[in-house]
Amino acid sequence: MGAVGNDETDSSFNRKKLCLMDHNPIVRFKVCNGALYDVRFIKSGNLHLLVTCGEGGVFVFKWSKILERLIKAVQPEQSSRLSNPVMEKLTPVSKFQAKPFLYAGPIEMNGISYDETLGHLYCAAGDLFGGYVWDIESNKCIGTLGNGKYLNFQESISCHTNYLHSIKAVPHGGVNLSAHCILTGGEDGKIGIWDGKALKLIEMIDCKTAMKTPLIERTSLWVSSIDVEQTGNWAVIGGGIDHLSLSSRSNNKDELGFMASLNLPTRTISTSSPTREIINNVAYHSKNGKIVSVGNESVVSYWDQCDFSGGRQGRSWLTSSSAYSISVHPEGRLMAVAGVGRSVDCLSDMATRFTLAL
């Protein structure tokens, strides 16, 4: 069972009480030589696709091909392989690799989002070009969400000035927004609002200026994650606060994070709060009306959707010491959290949890 409490709850926790399920992967296949940072299910026409991105670029696989291997692997005659599955060879149907520099390797992609209507895959890039836009059907890069360092001076003052961590397609466009709106967030601490069809910037919001929090006036911050609620009118933002260089960030134990809620029709931050941990990922939990977040602590935190000023409203303990990603089932009854270590924590109703040891 996972414990739910407030920030004053004793941090000591007996992890031996957790229900640990030693489930080996049924199928393994290698995507690239480096790390993977994001994975998504998307639908393109009648095709169901699994899309991953990371240090090698973006890789698209037919889910039907993976499903064939899953079905084969669970047949009785294959039972001996389940305890130690072999590495399968699986060829992607599409591979998107950005190589803007002649003598350099492919640019890493930190996040992906998909507009099913347009068939466009938006990628948050780890270079100074910002975001890349790929057309799934033609397998071509059709543009970028420009970065100020590669534009003229007049344009550069309003664009991102560093690489991106997160990108999110806005459902329905929301009120007073383009029907194909895209949100970007990155190392410069800004949120970009883009017309995803015309690939033009609508507005750039500096989170530090918009939050007006005394704590961050002497610091810098970065945006690590964005999620948008179902109406497309609200976005939740999470990230980190520091005043150090990137090279020393990983060794700094005094780092804090932040949560903020952005009203998209007015393009203003309505509520925000500093956090004691760096926020790595955020998501709306529509079933219980909360926002959930994970960071460099072994907890899932729960927040009121409308007001962060009162701090977190609860938390559930995790097995990993630091969590990188949280995913909420569309029906809202189950969450999956992954982070440091070879395990995935699955939580139900904010309390009950089982853990898959991979």
Q: Which residues are within 8 A (CB) of 333 and not within 5 positions of it... i.e. 6 or more apart?
A: 287, 348, 349
298 HSE (CA, 13 A, CB side): 15
**Rounded Cα–Cα distance for residues 320 and 330 (Å):** 24
pLDDT tens by residue, 250-260: 444 557 899 99
pLDDT: is 350 or 44 the higher one? 44
In the prediction, which pLDDT does 33 show? 79
| Least confident residue range of 36-40, 229-233, 286-290 | 286-290
Q: How many CB atoms lie within 10 A of CB 293?
A: 27
pLDDT at 59 over 50: yes
CB-neighbour burial class of residue 329 (10 A; exposed 0-12, middle 13-18, buried 19+): middle
Tell me 307's DSSP state: -
pLDDT digits (tens, 9 = 90+) for 180-203: 889 999 998 999 998 888 888 888
CA distances, 295 to each of 32, 84, 150, 224, 280 (Å): 26, 31, 32, 10, 5
* Residue 10's pLDDT band (cuts 50, 70, 90): very low
* CB contact set of 66 (below 8 Å; sequence gap of 6+): 27, 29, 50, 90
Half-sphere exposure of 89 (CA within 13 A, CB side): 0
Residue 155 has pLDDT above 80, yes or no: no
Cβ–Cβ contacts within 10 Å for residue 153, how many? 7
Give the rounded percent of residues in the chain with a pLDDT score beyond 70.
72
More confident residue, 333 or 163: 163
Domain boundaries, the chain: 31-206
CA dihedral 209, 215, 217, 219 (to 10 degrees): -110
One-character DSSP codes across 128-139: TT-EEEEETTTT
Per-residue pLDDT band at 243 (split at 50, 70, 90): low
State yes or no: pLDDT of 213 exceeds 60.
Answer: yes
Question: What integer pLDDT is reported at residue 13 of this predicted model?
Answer: 36
pLDDT at 138 > cutoff 50? yes
Q: Which of 173-177, 294-298, 317-321 has the lowest mean pLDDT?
A: 173-177
Statement: residue 102 has pLDDT above 80: no
Structure tokens at 56: 């090698």
Residue 177's pLDDT band, with cuts at 50, 70 and 90, is low
CATH of 31-206 given 3.30.1360.120, 3.30.300.30, 2.170.190.11, 2.130.10.10: 2.130.10.10
Residue 174 three-state SS: coil
**Alpha carbon distance, N-terminus to C-terminus of the chain:** 19
pLDDT (tens digit per residue) in 266-290? 889 998 888 989 999 999 987 778 8
Task: Quote the pLDDT of residue 282.
Answer: 95
Q: Tell me: pLDDT of 142 over 50.
A: yes
- Position 82 scores a pLDDT of 52
Higher pLDDT among residues 251 and 173, named by residue? 173
When the pLDDT of each residue in the chain is averaged and rounded to a whole number, the result is 77
In this predicted structure, the answer to whether residue 249 has a pLDDT above a threshold of 50 is: no
